[in-house]
Amino acid sequence: MRIFVSLFLIASLFGCRAQSQVNQTALISKSESTANKPRLVVGIVVDQMRYDYLTRFNDKFTDGGFKRMINDGFNCKNNHYNYVPTYTGPGHASIYTGTTPKYHGIIANYWYDKHEGARVYCAGDTLVNSIGTLSDAGKMSPHRMKTTTIGDENRLFTQSKGKTIGISIKDRGAILPAGHSANAAYWFVGDNEGAFVTSSFYMDTMPNWVSQFNASGKNESYLKVWNTLYDISTYTESGADLNTFEGGFTGKESATFPYDLKALSVENGGFEILKNTPYGNSILTDFAIAALEGEALGQDEITDVFTISFSSPDYIGHNFGVNSKEVQDTYLRLDQDIERLLNAFDEKVGKGNYTVFLTADHAAVNVPAYLQSMKIPSGYFDNKAFRTKVKDFMETRFSASGLIENISNNQLFLNHKRINELGLDLATVQEILVNEIIHYENIDKAYTTKAMQNASYTTGIEELIQNGYNQKRSGDVIFVFDPAVISYSKTGSTHGSALNYDTHVPLLFYGNGIKKGSTLKKTVITDIAPTLSALLGINFPSAATGQPLEFVLE
């Protein structure tokens, strides 16, 4: 009996020691795994930022903004979108899901839903309520996005202990990056409100810190004169201030500096005018810094995800064009806002405790009217004339009306029910339509859904179209404009194509786990989420097709 007790005690002792060693090993392993991870991952998306803004305006940037990220981080100089259309909604979804519209389903900002028979908005949701506004501006959610984001995967990995917060001036710029399981997404409403709002998808009442920010008067303080940050004569990297290629504001005769925003706000949507100025970026920066403290981001060893989307550069580019003094001033001011953000991360999260990436949801073309003045092939596409011509052709060719159901986003949607009633073969009708419109002025290419579904493209514009094609949501025929041809006004810039002026955007990585360096190797936008997933040691977003950029990571 004594022998048995002794053996039991010895076994228990060794068992306790073994268990103690296991516990210590687990603690050490946990300590190492969390110590090497950033406490905060920050995604910065600049709406409508061309890559060449980094190089064109480089000499006038401060050392603490873009240059800090470039010099102390990693610069992917040949980064591109690998699908079309290059719009805001698909761009933000693709950055954070690591895949293209083919899988995540956000095929445009607005699109024709052929099952509902109606136009839908990428973030619109009639089943939720507005929080912080009496308008419908808060009736938004990510429910149309089919896949997870990196924020979702981090929430799953951390058992919902890691936060995800998304902020932007645009609702879709806050909602789609934050994902489905986000703690919150906030966006800015202009008009007579000038406030950040949210949706009942995330919460029932607005947090105190947001209400306090909205009531602080900060947003109203930006209704002031917008003049150039530096002497306008030094803005030699952009075109003349007075030209015929810019839109401007209602109530001001010319699109030239300075702009009295308080006076102009009366005829330009009240606080809405701030979205069209660099002060929209400054407001968002103020709000981001408030969110750091209000949401206690990066304050423990469990990684949080913070998505920040600067929307104002897109509004300004659409209004004034990519070669304008207004765009140059916007980026010189944004550089200072980026510096403010990085300094706030240093102070509130700690140097070495956070990781940041910066990219864009798309770039933009030069104003075609300006390109024409430079004898560069370009032009404008008349959508109304195109619709009339196509419908007339179909009625004549098939002796029937109602065959075209919708034309939008460079896609033609056929009325399948009508085609069946007439006993027509759908594939044949699609092919006849392609063979017709390919001869129209300013149309360079056209494809049927059969081609998108059956072929496998690995290069060129065709690959990008296929990556943007979603079998359930896309149309029957897809067409492509000639280079630098847009469906837009004769002033201001736009985007959406598969050409370099729309696809080539910055990609900068900085901070915890990131090497210093640069590459001219081609990277694609869908590589961002897998790279961050690898850095955090978490699962890739559910449909990610991109690859981790190993050369970026330490």
Q: Say how far apart CA 229 and CA 302 lie, in whole Å.
A: 40
The amino acid occupying position 260 is D
Residues 6+ apart with CB under 8 A from 446: 433, 434, 437, 438, 477, 478, 479, 480
Region of residue 221 (phi > 0: left; psi between -120 and 50: alpha; otherwise: beta): alpha
d(CA 106, CA 94): 9
Helix (H, G, I), strand (E, B) or coil at 150: helix
The DSSP symbol for 553 reads B
φ/ψ of 164, rounded to 5, equals -130, 125
DSSP state of 65: T
Rounded Cα–Cα distance for residues 96 and 307 (Å): 9
Q: Residue 245: which of 365, 165, 90 has the closest Cα?
A: 365
Tokens of 13: 């002792």
Q: Which helix (H) or strand (E) holds 354?
A: strand 354-360
Pairwise CA distance, residues 367 & 317, whole Å:
10
Name which of 298, 292, 234, 226 is nearest 263 in CA terms.
226
User: Of these residues, 25, 34, 62, 88, which one is catalytic?
Assistant: 88
Residue 303: active-site member: no
In the structure, how many helices (H) and strands (E) does the chain have?
22, 22
The residues that are catalytic are 88
